[in-house]
Amino acid sequence: MQFVNPLYLFGLLAISIPVLIHLFNFRRFRKVYFTNVRFLQELKQQTQKQSQFRHLLILAMRILAITALVFAFAQPYIPFSGSQSKMATKNAVSVFVDNSFSMEAVGSGGTLLDESKQKAREIVMAYRSTDLFQLLTCDFEGRHQRLVTRDEFLTMLEEVKISPSVHTFSEIVRRQYDLLKGESNARKTSYIVSDFQKSAYNVADFRQDSAINTYLVPIKSSAVANVYIDTCWFAQPTQQPGKTSLLTARVWNKSENDLEKIPLKLLINKQQKSVASIDIKAGMSTTVELPFTVHEAGPQLGELQVTDYPVTYDDKFYFSFDVLSSINVLSINGGPENRFLNALYGQDSSVRFTNMNEKSLDYGRLPHFDLIILNEILSFSTGLSEEIKKYVTNGGTILVLPSANADLVSYNSFLASLNAPSYLKTDTADTRVTKLSEESYLFRDVFDRQQGRQAVAANTDLPLVSKHFPILASSAMLTQALMNMLNGRDFLSLTDCGFGQVLQLAVPLDPGFSNFPQQAIFVPVLYNIALISHPSHNLYSIIGDNKVIRVNALVPGGDKVFKIKSPGSDFEMIPQVNSAGNMVNVFVDNQIPVAGNYNLVSDKTLLSTLAFNYNRGESDLSCNSSGEMETLLGKEHLDSFRVIGSGQKPLNEVITRINSGIQLWRYFIWLVLLLLLTEVLLIRFYKK
């Protein structure tokens, strides 16, 4: 047993008052002599003993009454076993209310958000009106980073709405700790009211503060079923007008039942382009291919839709992409123009092909090309090397075709600056191409698919090589082989460099080195290299990630600025931008509030389209039970954390018991009254 006001125990000194009174006011007996002395002596002894016993009973009642009254003022209590802190005159309390999208699910008392807000009210009502409180939500708003009165807390609580923001358990605890650590003269307590999804319950990613007690209040939904789209991608890197595009979407079924005939719709620019009916096993995902055709070039707005209830925020998935009218290709020639390149690119209306001699090269035009081919340059000057390096690191793609008389020292110095493989001296041994990277974009849809995957037939006619420059790559380079020869060397390799790519052929396009230009595979390989070279932004961004968005545009000059606008509303914002060569970095900094498609404009010119989706981390409604939460807390030895399970008692009564223990002062007041009543009865009815 402990006391809230232990100083009141000095009041026990008042026990001396009735003791002194009784000591000095006992009735004195006079001696009376009678003839029958023996009879009177027995009567005298009996009467004196009874009187003394009566007075001792009254004295005991008065002592016990004073003791019980003093104890009542000292407010005794039995501490709750889960509480580590003593009673204090001031409390600093932080309450986190989960308002993420998963709280749209339905529980026993309405939506989980409504239940969590009610729990938060019960928590603060368990404390005194003079205590201070913090309301924290998934938004991490600046106005919530302070302690307020109970009335202010309740007012802010009414304003809490569903939010797209998502935070892990450790991020929430750290944010509560940051505020409470500054309250040195108060008992510090934090509460987390949430559904405690398994995807965000990372109890091992922070260090506990033993001075702060944290109580977890789980809210349970009546069902955990949810169907949602979590990503999509194109089979081709570049979309072109009039040609069929193939979009793949992944759909999840987070429920305990198999689902059949779920409709999935594809809309492009608000017009339905494709629809599929899908079956999904319980707890599994499936991918769906949706073919469609766009006939006009330019930025496009895409949207995928499924129908689900009650969690609906993830039923729509937005994406954006460009349909290219043409691809700009430049060939920088060390000698005459290459007839094979002219024949391939010069006759294709979707490619704008330009030839320039290295000696008359306009460096200022390089950023305007999607692909630059370094065709049989004898040696690289310092100026050319620096400009090409800048072009590649800023997102450009180059294809290196070595010259038969190449200065390998110059070549390898240039390639080393790009962290790309070097060329060795000419190998004149006959060999041939034997292996292709079949899943690379260069060979997508080039060969027939067998048993669900693309495969090169055994009788496929692949290039013969009479001599070549061996490509030597180190393990530290981000290089992959796209075409391999029988001798184990790369015929065509790809290396990532900055935001760009370096492709290297082991031979020039010269029949004296190989018959590659005469092979059927030559056309799709060179054409697909041009297609993948066009820099494009991601199909979508996630709200809250704040990752940089790279778009193919130029920073506007003068008073013109970039703006992000919503086509269906009045929303408009000015993002932070900076130039990165032939690309622009766009930063939104948490300023996009709603998922959807947006236009990136400068003045009234549409530059690109952007898509933003809510974080799908909330879509998996699987939550930890109270037992699972306690087990995980125990494994991490988080002794200052406790789980308050759902029960019959209101939460404010449970918290009062946790904070104050079992209050005993009421029982002592009743004991005082009982003792006083007993004293009255003794005086009235206990005869001498």
Query: Do 423 and 471 touch, CB atoms closer than 8 A?
Result: yes
User: pLDDT by residue (tens digit) across 267-277?
Assistant: 999 999 999 99
Q: What is the mean pLDDT of residues 198-203?
A: 84
**Residue 471's pLDDT band (boundaries 50, 70, 90)?**
very high
Q: Which of 292-296, 341-345, 450-454, 509-513 has the lowest mean pLDDT?
A: 450-454
**Residue 210's pLDDT band (boundaries 50, 70, 90)?**
confident
The residue type found at 382 is T
Which carries the bigger pLDDT value, residue 20 or residue 372?
A: 372
| Domain ranges within the chain, ordered by starting residue | 2-79+665-685, 91-220+624-660, 226-324, 327-528, 541-613
Q: Which of 79-93, 112-126, 165-179 has the lowest mean pLDDT?
A: 79-93
Q: In what order do the strands lie in the sheet with 549-551?
A: 549-551, 583-587, 576-580
**Both tokens of residue 236?**
């081709």
Is the pLDDT score of 484 beyond 90? yes
**Both tokens of residue 546?**
């704040």
The residue type found at 602 is S
CA-nearest of 603, 617, 619 to 565 is: 603
Query: Do 541 and 586 touch, CB atoms closer than 8 A?
Result: no
The residue type found at 200 is A
Is the pLDDT score of 449 beyond 60? no
Matching CATH number, 541-613, of 3.10.50, 2.60.40, 3.40.630, 3.30.160: 2.60.40
**Residue 399's pLDDT band (boundaries 50, 70, 90)?**
very high
Is the pLDDT score of 352 beyond 80? yes
Residue 563 pairs in a beta bridge with: 601
**Residue 89's pLDDT band (boundaries 50, 70, 90)?**
low
Predicted pLDDT of residue 659: 64
CATH 1.20.1440.230 correct for 91-220+624-660: no
Q: Which of 448-452, 484-488, 590-594 has the lowest mean pLDDT?
A: 448-452
Q: What top-level class would CATH report for the domain 327-528?
A: alpha beta
Is the pLDDT score of 199 beyond 90? no
**Residue 4's pLDDT band (boundaries 50, 70, 90)?**
low
Residue 361 pairs in a beta bridge with: none
Predicted pLDDT of residue 82: 46
Which carries the bigger pLDDT value, residue 200 or residue 93?
A: 93
Percent of the chain with pLDDT over 90: 41
Are 327-528 and 541-613 the same fold in CATH? no
DSSP secondary structure of 184-218: TTSEEEEEEEE--BTTT--TTSS---TTEEEEEEE
Is the pLDDT score of 465 beyond 70? yes
Is the pLDDT score of 34 beyond 60? no
Percent of the chain with pLDDT over 70: 87
Residue 103 and residue 113: Cα distance in Å, rounded? 5
Matching CATH number, 226-324, of 2.60.40.10, 3.40.605.10, 3.40.50.10420, 2.40.50.140: 2.60.40.10
Helix H or strand E segment including 497: strand 490-497
**Residue 85's pLDDT band (boundaries 50, 70, 90)?**
very low
Distances (CA, A) of 682 to 19, 44, 149, 676, 678: 17, 22, 52, 10, 6
Is the pLDDT score of 662 beyond 70? no
**Both tokens of residue 647?**
């029960």
Average pLDDT, the chain: 85
Residue 431 pairs in a beta bridge with: 465
Q: Which of 173-182, 194-203, 635-644, 658-667 has the lowest mean pLDDT?
A: 658-667
Which carries the bigger pLDDT value, residue 176 or residue 37?
A: 176
Predicted pLDDT of residue 148: 93
Distances (CA, A) of 322 to 269, 337, 435: 12, 31, 33
Is the pLDDT score of 129 beyond 90? no
Q: In what order do the strands lie in the sheet with 271-280?
A: 271-280, 259-268, 298-305, 316-323
Q: Which of 53-57, 538-542, 603-607 has the lowest mean pLDDT?
A: 53-57
Predicted pLDDT of residue 83: 46
Is the pLDDT score of 492 beyond 50? yes
Residue 653 and residue 663: Cα distance in Å, rounded? 12
Helices (H), 75-147: 112-125
Is the pLDDT score of 142 beyond 80? yes
Q: What is the mean pLDDT of residues 553-579?
A: 81
